[in-house]
Structure 1
């Protein structure tokens, strides 16, 4: 906690950074500590019935009035009547914020259910691929067509962080993540619908060749030895052959074969370089690598979304198409959903949603001990122009109570809300 001084409520003035020793539901402000900026805020503060407030000199503009003596008991201003408080613009904004949080919570539950349903559909596609190949490819094409239409035609696109409760569908989420992230890039670079659909099919089946690799190798937590690595690398050519027998289109087959090719020629299986790799395979290579950094075979090696993007840009940039990598980072934002962050006012939270058109202003779930987790505050930084993210925080560095409250995901998974932005709530 920052060093604070306690002053009488009647000495509070505009420019002071105050701490309210009240529960979040007991006052009308968005946060329990903030800089006083308006006369209306000042009037509301003095009407809360408090005798004193704590002030942080370091975060205040100008000098702080003399602190209240320990024995002093200032008489608080007469509390505002419930009617006057209800009519206040600050209280109206708080009520509106609470309603938007409620709607956002309902919206998140709807999106999460859609995510689970899609993961289950991919599970069924995977299970039926060889027993009913023609029907399964038809079903997959229909699913990809629906995803493509939804994402490409949406007025705006919001990326949502998904929970961990998948009921056994976790092993299918990698294909779903890669498909969704690839479609995000396709939308930004304005790929035609028919091309994006081919991208989706290739992304969905990009790892189909792993069916030829023993599970004991695929699920090994330690680093592969030379023989194991060589075996795993056969999944690209092996997947190409499986896809060819299934009748997949040539652009989708190229994705399956080349999604591990790197722009600098350091990839496999053919060590292709630059534009010798198809643009669709270059897209999937970025989405695939990002998901593998966030969700590696050994969970102990996982990076936070922020760390994964930073690593790809700072140390792996030569491996990826530079223009497509820039698109990818721009869409996800510097602090992608799933990143634990500290805001400029000292509050800790987790990014849970980002609008790809405004990636620097995500929605952040706030840690507030006085608010039950199931009713957690979600602040939209689009509506808080004076509030910024100052840094990301590794989950291991977060105090246990905050960690348990925010519940950072063991597996980072995204789903896209491509609905009408006027219908989506933006608290």
Structure 2
């Protein structure tokens, strides 16, 4: 008779199975080595033997064995997080947020510069409408400057920066920011902004061949150019502009040492707001001259204005406040870090002049993914010095792309 026994595990035992123990009689407590399981007590005794398998006879059993219980496979615990990978992911997220913010500021600047262009083009034919447009734009800038403690200044890299009307917008943004630093309230800031935005309207009366001619000008040409402050005041009177706005338009080239024009006024005779616009206008003209080859970096421009031979032209308190709120390394400046890497300053917060936002040159990272860092969040990084574009290796200069014309706008949120 053939052997029909099969092997099962102890977990498959149940009442009714006929089992055969492959043990000697003294190794178990049952009466026989082959028997049919009749109750739970025998089940417990069989499992207590500690056998890995037992034989059972299907032909002599009353039922099949229990199904094999498959134990769920225990998954290995996940590896502990890699601190370096966590830091990398955090930086990627931070970089994404920062890039989005810079893009928003750039877009806001583009829209504002187009509005300035439109109002300048319509000053002759629709003067009242132009003044309303100017007032609306200035209101928005003043609300941005005065409404948020976290307002930050950014240099703009969009193509709109190539537009000739950007000078007026630059002077307005910088003037309102400086006015805030000097404690001007909302009403005074609005007057200051209007004067800054319209400070050069008199140039509409100056022929283009004089306006666009690089220096040196002939004496008659220089006299005609200087008349734009007088022409501007006359135009402003026709537009029914506020007296303080008219004064800014008329006096924004007057210097505290009496060397300015059109009336060679000294400090005590020049309006306070005129002195503010004089500083921001002079600064922007140094950074954005008619001949780009003579342009200074923002850092160089501030250093020149604070040099003894020039600083006597400006209101001392306002000039020092301007340097404070522009930062030691203003947006648009090229710098070298302590680790010798080159970087371009993108933005800064007036209360953190040594902690600007930078784009860093790294040949290992594609230009479109360039590392942007906020030094406030990177305590191990520091700026060592300001550098000129000509001092950079060609590949670093192309990577950072310092613009020949600088433009500024504000981000109402600090972070």
Give the alignment of 1:179-328 within 5 angstroms.
179-314=172-307, 315-328=309-322
Paired residue secondary structure (1:415): strand
Mapped to 2, the partners of 1:125 and 1:296 lie a distance apart of: 23
Distance 1:83 1:265, change over 3 A: farther
Aligned with residue 137 of structure 2, among 140, 143, 157: 143
Give 1:380 shift: 1.3
Mapped to 1, the partners of 2:85 and 2:403 lie a distance apart of: 34
Mapped to 2, the partners of 1:216 and 1:374 lie a distance apart of: 40
Which one has a bigger Cα radius of gyration?
Answer: 2
> For the aligned residues, what is the CA RMSD?
1.5
Q: Show structure 1 runs of 4+ deviating over 3 A.
A: none
Give 1:275 shift: 2.4
Match status 1:413 vs 2:407: yes
Paired residue secondary structure (2:410): strand
Please list the CA deviations of residues 17-48 of structure 1 after superposition, one character each: whole Å capped at 9, or x if unmatched: xxxxxxxxxxxxxxxxxxxxxxxxxxxxxxxx
Aligned with residue 121 of structure 2, among 127, 138, 163: 127
Give me the TM-score of the superposition, normalised by structure 2. Answer: 0.79
Mapped to 2, the partners of 1:330 and 1:83 lie a distance apart of: 49
Mapped to 2, the partners of 1:110 and 1:379 lie a distance apart of: 17
Mapped to 2, the partners of 1:199 and 1:222 lie a distance apart of: 29
Q: In structure 1, what is the equivalent of residue 100 of structure 2?
A: 106
Give 1:229 shift: 0.8
- Contact kept in structure 1, 2:236 and 2:246, CA below 8 Å: yes
Give the alignment of 1:316-395 within 5 angstroms.
316-395=310-389
Paired residue secondary structure (1:364): strand
Give the alignment of 1:51-90 within 5 angstroms.
83-84=79-80, 86-88=81-83, 90=84
Q: In structure 2, what is the equivalent of residue 5 of structure 1?
A: none
Give 1:164 shift: 4.4
Give 1:265 shift: 1.0
Mapped to 2, the partners of 1:386 and 1:189 lie a distance apart of: 33
Paired residues in the alignment total 338
Paired residue secondary structure (1:253): helix
Aligned with residue 177 of structure 1, among 170, 173, 195: 170
Give 1:223 shift: 1.4
Give me the TM-score of the superposition, normalised by structure 1. Answer: 0.77
- Contact kept in structure 1, 2:144 and 2:151, CA below 8 Å: no
Mapped to 1, the partners of 2:285 and 2:399 lie a distance apart of: 26
Mapped to 2, the partners of 1:127 and 1:203 lie a distance apart of: 17
Paired residue secondary structure (2:160): coil
- Contact kept in structure 1, 2:331 and 2:348, CA below 8 Å: yes
Unaligned runs of 5+ in 1: 1-81
- Contact kept in structure 1, 2:201 and 2:235, CA below 8 Å: yes
Mapped to 1, the partners of 2:268 and 2:110 lie a distance apart of: 36
Give 1:222 shift: 3.3
